[in-house]
Every structure is written in structure tokens, then in C-alpha cells.
Amino acid sequence: MVEDKILVWKFNRGSKDALRRIYEKYKDDLLGLAITLLRDRSLAEDVVHDVFVSFAGTAGAFHLSGTLKGYLSTCVANSARDRNRLRSGRDAGPDVVEAAGSNSTGPMERAIGREESGQLNDLLARLSYEQREVIVLHLHHGMRFREIAKALGISINTVQSRYRYGLDKLRSILNSVVTK
């Protein structure tokens, strides 16, 4: 948190090192978020790229009110939503699972990570985009419901109900898988 404040202070004074450090600190998390939301690696990379370029354009006037991670996650979520609307329901399919785990370190870890994240991605893909968005922002990126509501411009009750219905749906999907 303090490190982020210092990085933002330096960034506002035109430090390229600060911008590079911010990018390196959050790039993987943000790409993971974009991939989970969009289920398309190339689209997700474009989203993260656009978010960082527009963030860099605020140098000298950027004011951080919450956490930097929360701010960037919100930007990625909003940009991903716009991209999702644009592609109008076209889904990336199973290659996303491959893409999500393809850059892990060892072969064993890669295989396990691919399997687990692929399993979750398959499950999350069966939720609506809005439910997936709220669940991922809350559980993977540690954002509070209030923060999510503010970031998405919706009420906190809507966020909570999307989260609850999303989890219920996940639970029923998992139960049906277990009983088969």
C-alpha cells in the first residue's frame, strides 16, 4: 500500500521506472482477470494493454483514492465488459484453458494449474458475465462488495444478489457433476 503510494507519487512526476514497476507488479493478476472474464487470451492482452496505456496517459494528474490494484482491476473489468459487448456473445471455447495455464513454471505445475484453472474456467463460463465478474472481482481480487458496486456503477444489493445467485449456480453445477 505504502509502496503503491510512492510508486504513484513517482509516476506523477514522470518516472518511467515507477510505471514499469507498477506494470510488472500487477500485469499477471490483471491478465488473469481479463482472461477469466473474456475467455480469450488475445482479447485479454488487448484489454490489459489498453488499460495501461490509458493509465500512463494520466501521469501528472493521477489521484489514487483506494488501492492501486483495485483501481486497475476496475479498469480491466470495465474494459473487458465493453469488449464483451462488442463481440456480442462470441465465446472463445476450450483454447482459453490452454492459454490460461500455458505460462506456468514447471511441467508438473503447468499441468496441475491448467487442469484446476481450466476446471474453474469451465464452471465460470456457465455463469452469466455479470455473475462471473462479481465473483472473480470478490474472490480473486479481494474487492469488497461496496468497491465493486462503485466500480461497476450498480447498487450494492445488485452486487450481492449477483454474487449469491452465481455461487448457487456454481454449487448446483458442482453437485450435478458429483452425482453423475
Partner 1 sequence: MRPKENIEKFVRVRKPHVTTSRQMDKRTLNDSFAAMEQTIRAKPADHKPSTARIITLSRMMKLTAAAAVIIVGISLFIAHQGPSEKGGTTRVLEVAESPSEIMTMKSLTIAYRRGGIKGIENQCEKALKILGPQPASISLGDLFNGSNG
Minimum gap (Å) between residue 1 Cβ and partner 1: 21
Site string for partner 1, 90-129 (x = CB under 8 A): ----------xx-xx--------x--xx-xxx--x-----
Q: What is the 3-state secondary structure (H, E, C) of the chain?
A: CHHHHHHHHHHHCCCHHHHHHHHHHHHHHHHHHHHHHHCCHHHHHHHHHHHHHHHHCCCCCCCCCCCHHHHHHHHHHHHHHHHHHHHCCCCCCCHHHHHHHCCCCCHHHHHHHHHHHHHHHHHHCCCCHHHHHHHHHHHCCCCCHHHHHHHHCCCHHHHHHHHHHHHHHHHHHHHHHHHC
Residue of the chain from 1, 53, 86, 108 that contacts partner 1 (CB under 8 A): 53
How many residues line the site for partner 1 (CB under 8 A)?
44
Minimum gap (Å) between residue 47 Cβ and partner 1: 11
Minimum gap (Å) between residue 67 Cβ and partner 1: 18
CB closer to partner 1, 65 vs 88: 65
Cell of 157: 444489493
Residue of the chain from 59, 64, 125, 154 that contacts partner 1 (CB under 8 A): 59
CB closer to partner 1, 60 vs 107: 60
Is there binding between residue 64 and partner 1 (CB under 8 A)? no
Residue of the chain from 5, 139, 157, 161 that contacts partner 1 (CB under 8 A): 139
Site string for partner 1, 140-179 (x = CB under 8 A): x--------------------------x--xx--xx----
Which is nearest to 48 in space by CA: 68, 28, 67? 28
